[in-house]
Amino acid sequence: MQDIIDGFLKFQKEAFPERSGLFKQLATSQNPGALFITCSDSRVVPELLTQREPGDLFVIRNAGNIVPAYGPEPGGVTATVEYAVAVLGVTDIVICGHSDCGAMTAISTGKDLGHLPAVANWLSHADAAKAVNAAHTHESDAERLSAMVRGNIVAQLNNIKTHPSVALAMDQNVVTLHGWVYDIESGSIDTLDGSSGRFVNLANHSQGPSEPAASGITA
């Protein structure tokens, strides 16, 4: 714990003064441009990956970067999505999975989660991706996991479209959905191409401000 405290003291002494103007502005308002939904995995740091400053991203983190479909008993993820879209007016939503994901590994290998009932229940929101992945033949465990990670991104993008705030924003063409997969070892990101339905390297398919969102999925 001491190293965490030391980190805060370093932040207070060095990083905070360098951004004092930014924090003064953020003290009374926020205007994030994107909602970033990713895994709780300690190796995935949204602000580091995207080189964003405080206030730029509205972030949801949970096991497996899951977004439950909208239902009669909305939970924390649902409430956060609704607030980001309907109140903050984010224009982009990124659902980002990653390599070596423990949640997706448990699903793809059929691991017994009887001793983790809360985890098992949570991962049931990835059942659609699980079914699709199980119906395909994979040459290796690594390929099966990779396909599961990508299939889960597609499933969660479909889930988030069931949220009324997102459906309305998409109908009004004011929000774009993006599916990403971050590779921890290489530092690369693959993005779901909306026209082909395939994941492609983001660095080779990034778009300029006047070009169509090749990595986005629109209504």
Known catalytic membership, residue 101: yes
Active-site annotation holder among 39, 96, 150, 178: 39
Q: Which of 6, 43, 127, 198 is catalytic?
A: 43
Residue 19 is among the residues annotated as catalytic for this protein: no
Catalytic residue among 96, 98, 125, 150: 98
Exactly one of 96, 101, 144, 150 is catalytic; which is it? Answer: 101
How far is 131 from 146, CA to CA, in rounded Å? Answer: 15
* Catalytic annotation present for 171: no
Q: CB neighbours of 145 closer than 8 A, spacing ≥ 6? A: 100, 101, 104, 105, 108, 109
Of 3, 6, 19, 41, which one is the catalytic site residue? 41
What are the residue numbers of the active site? 39, 41, 43, 98, 101
